Amino acid sequence: MERWIGQETWDQEHRFVREASKLAVKALETERPERYMWIDESGVATTVGSRSRRHAPQAMRPLWIPPSAGWLVLDKRAQQLVADVLILLTLAERGDTQQDWVRNLGRINTSALPHCLTQERTDHLRPNETAGVTQRSPGETCKGGCPVGLCPYPPKGQHPYRVELGEAFCRKQRLLLGRKTSLPFGKRPKWQNAPRWELRGYWRQMEDRART
């Protein structure tokens, strides 16, 4: 594992690839793959799953990650990574033609993350805009200098190619950031630099979007 993680070119990999590699190492170290890994982002984000204090020995499990595994059992770092991977893919996997898809996917094929995932989100992703009311093109609401240029998020009523994130999933993302008071429990992933209050506001809007 040390040789794999320590490879010289690792800093050139996509930030999410690096984060996923750390989680994969934790899965091997703890022998709890369902806590740190997932089969498919869309599948795990739409499956709540369940937690239990009883875990059968790994050798006795028919599958390394059971199909019933959902986001509830994931470590908080894995939950936050799944959420932002899905946001990024939702920004890219849209368009009226195959050429649109190829162009957008090419934009995220870089080691740099868009500013809407590393800095303030709400003003650029605008999750509460509604289809048919406001028509925007990808890149129209991006922060200046963004290396990707795909904001805003698809409006409500325009079903994304992947999945619409559920209310409970979005609420958990907000709770993982901590409450309004300065408690030490909430934490941002290392790639997020926006204030926690701004990130909480974004996920509250995503909750509202899922509710309506």
Residues 61-89 have pLDDT tens digits of 566 777 777 899 999 999 999 999 999 99
With respect to residue 56, please indicate whether it lies within any of the assigned structural domains.
no
With respect to residue 207, please indicate whether it lies within any of the assigned structural domains.
yes
Q: How far apart (Å, rounded) are the C-alpha atoms in residues 102 and 112?
A: 18
With respect to residue 123, please indicate whether it lies within any of the assigned structural domains.
yes
With respect to residue 36, please indicate whether it lies within any of the assigned structural domains.
no
Burial class from Cβ neighbours inside 10 Å (0-12, 13-18, 19+) for residue 115 reads buried
- In this prediction, residue 185 carries a pLDDT of 55
- Percent of the chain surpassing pLDDT 90: 52
With respect to residue 101, please indicate whether it lies within any of the assigned structural domains.
no
Q: How far apart (Å, rounded) are the C-alpha atoms in residues 152 and 185?
A: 30
Q: Given CA atoms 68, 72, 77, 80 in this order, what sign does their dihedral have?
A: positive
Beta strand spans in 5-68 (E): none
Count up the domains in the chain and report the number.
1
Residues 3-31 have pLDDT tens digits of 555 554 556 788 999 999 999 999 999 98
Q: Which two tokens stand for residue 104?
A: 């957008």
- In this prediction, residue 60 carries a pLDDT of 43
Flag whether the pTM goes above 0.95: no
With respect to residue 5, please indicate whether it lies within any of the assigned structural domains.
no
Regions in the chain scoring below 50 on pLDDT: 8, 53-60, 182-183
With respect to residue 173, please indicate whether it lies within any of the assigned structural domains.
yes
Q: Containing domain of residue 126, as a range?
A: 112-211
Q: How far apart (Å, rounded) are the C-alpha atoms in residues 176 and 44?
A: 17
Q: How far apart (Å, rounded) are the C-alpha atoms in residues 90 and 86?
A: 6
With respect to residue 104, please indicate whether it lies within any of the assigned structural domains.
no
- Classified as helix, coil or strand, 130 is strand
